[in-house]
Amino acid sequence: MNALGARVLSGTTHFAVRSPLADMVWLCLFEGAAEKRFPMERRGLDWVLEVSGELSGTCYGYRAAGEWAPERGAWFDPAKLLVDPYALELDRRFLQDPKLTIFGDDTADIVPRAIVPKAMQPVSLKPPRFAHGGLIYELNVRGFTMLHPEVPAHLRGTIAALAHPAVLAHFKKLSVTAVELMPIVAWIDERHLPPLGLVNAWGYNPVAMMALDPGLCPGGVAELRNTVAALHAEGIGVILDLVLNHSGESDMQGGVLSLRGLDDAAYSRAADGQLINDTGCGNTLDFANPAVRKLALETLRHFVAQCGVDGFRFDLAPVLARAPGFDPAAPFFEEVAIDPLLADRIFIAEPWDTGPGGYQLGRFPPNWLEWNDRFRDDVRRFWRGDGKLGDLASRLAGSTDIFGHPPPGQPCRSINFLAAHDGFTLADVVSYEQRHNEANGENNRDGHAENLSWNNGVEGASDVDDVIARRAEDLRALLRTLFASTGTIMLTAGDEFGRTQKGNNNAYCQDNPLSWINWAARDLTLEEEVAVLSADRAKEITSYRELAKEIRWLRRDGAPMTIEDWERPGESWIRYEVLEGDNCRAFIIDRSRRSVVCDNSSDE
């Protein structure tokens, strides 16, 4: 395969794009609104062109001609300006428009143009800034800083804002091991959102896999690179949440923006020609296709080599291993493992998708971490009052029933979390029994109906002292359970101080104060308690990242738990002891008192 994308080399600029079935491909160079087209030369499955001069900063795109037969996967329409799948920066954000779907309608005025990148020296790579067992802090770049009073207005909502001293101080206060950035590459709104006056605020609908979103990252690759360096200087790692499972070109009614107009074979299709939709987003990228894996690997390599990121979290990660069923030994896993740039990075799977056999928790490679939704669900059930003590114990002890016992010296692979971007905030878990997504324009039908949540007697906001007190106790019990657990832990931004989304459990389309973090409404007492929990955990991080050599579960009378004790209905008290040499970490868990108490004494 040729080196794809746009590259400046020794006084010339090289362009290469994959389009195996096109009859002709043109390079389109832009100077303002003026467009010049240059026919490209076929070279194998790709089309290439060398242009004299160093064109760094020039805007470009492609057009491709060929058959128009969408039912057979042929979407060639020279009226469509196509974004380079290997683009690194764009001149504008994507916008939905009917012209994207209509054959013959020119889209040069609405589709982003890629920008020829400047040649940059790779960063000096060091081992990932990450400690297994530590705290991953998940955040939405825009929503995290839009209302931050100390961040200057011109930086709010951008990646650069994460390097502001006030933001870094908050990360340090929480002893954050790594920040996990929700998608930062350019995405397009789902078709149903613009008529509702809504936009996609989360970014899980990308078009070009490595092109930074111009709104989040107006300074392009350099801005991300500098922000990563600033976080590294504070000992904080950076994990990018990547969406490699589908494209924002959507289903058969979607637009022609990039891959669809160049190489539709990138998408998985059933025997009858229909798009396979294992993502719930209209299409699925085909990781059995070497060209798709190449694009994915080059995406990872770019963000490591040019920006120094420490790892990646993969949305709907079973797609990476579908051929068409999930294969734990899929080629993509092997290719990542042997790549010299990627082999030591941190890899995190969201181990489910919406396709057949899509739930694959515990089946990813042994050096991958996995989001453990069983931890979330079993811990919520326990504190709600209808969960089993034995299930809670399994989650606290590293979920060996799911992941098995790792080899000696290897970390526990579970990422334990109580809430994430998708679903209720943690404060809403103890304040709402039902979702309240009316603002999303889908008659409250979107989002999960069952949240394993409870409201303590009043649905939503309350000024009843007893209700407020019970919710505070529940929040503290949940958080202390998380921080006492074996494995790496994850906290979503704002949950450390009681952030609410007023019961909206699917705020992907709420780019407004409903989903933005309200720094003026922080529960500072809770925040301080979380900071102490995290600092204490950070001091003993080895004990939390690996499965303990000895765990004891004791009854109130100090005797070891028996099978009968574990199976006794309603059992809600236990002493949890982790012994490592002469050291012992002990916690008393008491559901009747809504409490988790660290207690290293020998007494109850």
pLDDT, mean of residues 475-487: 97
**327 catalytic per annotation:** no
Q: What's at 107, amino acid-wise?
A: T
Report d(CA 535, CA 397) in Å as an integer. 20
Instruction: Work out the number of other CB atoms within 10 angstroms of the CB of residue 116.
Output: 25
Amino acid 601: pLDDT: 58
| 33 φ/ψ angles, rounded to the nearest 5 degrees | -85, -10
Q: Report yes or no: 22 and 264 within 8 Å, Cβ to Cβ.
A: no
Q: By three-state DSSP, how is residue 8 classified? A: strand
Instruction: Work out the number of other CB atoms within 10 angstroms of the CB of residue 411.
Output: 20
Closest-CA residue to 39 (of 30, 31, 50) = 50
Contacts of 153 (CB under 8 A, 6+ apart): none
Task: Give a three-class secondary structure readout of 202-256.
Answer: CCCCECCCCCECCCCCCCHHHHHHHHHHHHHHCCCEEEEEECCCCCCCCCCCCCC
Give yes or no for residue 603 having a pLDDT over 70.
no
Give yes or no for residue 1 having a pLDDT over 90.
no
Quickly list DSSP for 493-524.
TTGGGT---TT-S-GGG--STTTS--GGG--H
Report d(CA 231, CA 163) in Å as an integer. 7
Q: Which CATH number does the domain 5-115 belong to among 3.40.50.300, 2.60.120.1140, 3.40.190.10, 2.60.40.10?
A: 2.60.40.10
Q: Report yes or no: 506 and 440 within 8 Å, Cβ to Cβ.
A: yes
**350 catalytic per annotation:** yes
Q: What is the pLDDT of residues 21-64, one digit of tens each?
A: 999 999 999 999 999 999 999 999 999 999 999 999 999 999 99
Contacts of 83 (CB under 8 A, 6+ apart): 61, 90, 111, 112, 113, 114, 207, 208, 211, 257, 258
**Mean pLDDT of the chain, nearest integer:** 96
Give yes or no for residue 599 having a pLDDT over 80.
yes
Active-site option among 138, 263, 315, 428: 315
Give yes or no for residue 97 having a pLDDT over 50.
yes
Q: What is the pLDDT of residues 498-554, one digit of tens each?
A: 999 999 999 999 999 999 999 999 999 999 999 999 999 999 888 888 886 789 999
Instruction: Work out the number of other CB atoms within 10 angstroms of the CB of residue 319.
Output: 26
Instruction: Work out the number of other CB atoms within 10 angstroms of the CB of residue 192.
Output: 12
Give yes or no for residue 340 having a pLDDT over 50.
yes
Q: pLDDT above 70 covers what percent of the chain?
A: 99
Which regions of 393-502 does DSSP assign to beta strands (E)?
414-417, 488-492
Structure tokens at 454: 């409870």
Q: Report yes or no: 146 and 514 within 8 Å, Cβ to Cβ.
A: no
pLDDT, mean of residues 169-198: 98
Tracing tokens 């007190």 back to the chain, one arrives at 469
Give yes or no for residue 560 having a pLDDT over 60.
yes
Distance of CA 467 to the CA centre of its chain: 34
Domain map (residue ranges) of the chain: 5-115, 550-598
Amino acid 135: pLDDT: 98
Tracing tokens 């304040």 back to the chain, one arrives at 431
Q: Report yes or no: 237 and 177 within 8 Å, Cβ to Cβ.
A: yes
Report d(CA 210, CA 193) in Å as an integer. 24
Give yes or no for residue 335 having a pLDDT over 90.
yes
| 64 φ/ψ angles, rounded to the nearest 5 degrees | -135, 140
DSSP 559: P
Q: What is the pLDDT of residues 358-407, one digit of tens each?
A: 999 999 999 999 999 999 999 999 999 999 999 999 999 999 999 999 88
Closest-CA residue to 242 (of 276, 208, 198) = 208
Q: β-pairing, 414-417 with 488-492? A: parallel
Q: What is the pLDDT of residues 277-296, one digit of tens each?
A: 999 999 999 999 999 999 99
Q: Is 468 exposed, middle or buried (0-12, 13-18, 19+ CB in 10 A)?
A: middle
Q: Which CA distances in Å does 13 have to 170, 195, 233, 298? A: 43, 41, 35, 19
Closest-CA residue to 64 (of 76, 56, 55, 53) = 76
Count the helices and strands in the chain (H runs, E runs).
14, 22
Amino acid 604: pLDDT: 39
Closest-CA residue to 392 (of 201, 571, 200) = 571
Report d(CA 304, CA 311) in Å as an integer. 8
Confidence of residue 583 (pLDDT cuts 50, 70, 90): confident
The number of residues making up the chain comes to 604
Q: Report yes or no: 142 and 121 within 8 Å, Cβ to Cβ.
A: no
Distance of CA 113 to the CA centre of its chain: 26
Active-site option among 77, 190, 310, 350: 350
Which regions of 354-455 does DSSP assign to beta strands (E)?
369-372, 414-417
| 9 φ/ψ angles, rounded to the nearest 5 degrees | -140, 115
Q: Report yes or no: 17 and 62 within 8 Å, Cβ to Cβ.
A: yes
Report d(CA 138, CA 179) in Å as an integer. 6
pLDDT, mean of residues 333-346: 98
Amino acid 83: pLDDT: 98
Report d(CA 246, CA 127) in Å as an integer. 30
Higher pLDDT, 434 or 602: 434
Q: What's at 84, amino acid-wise?
A: D
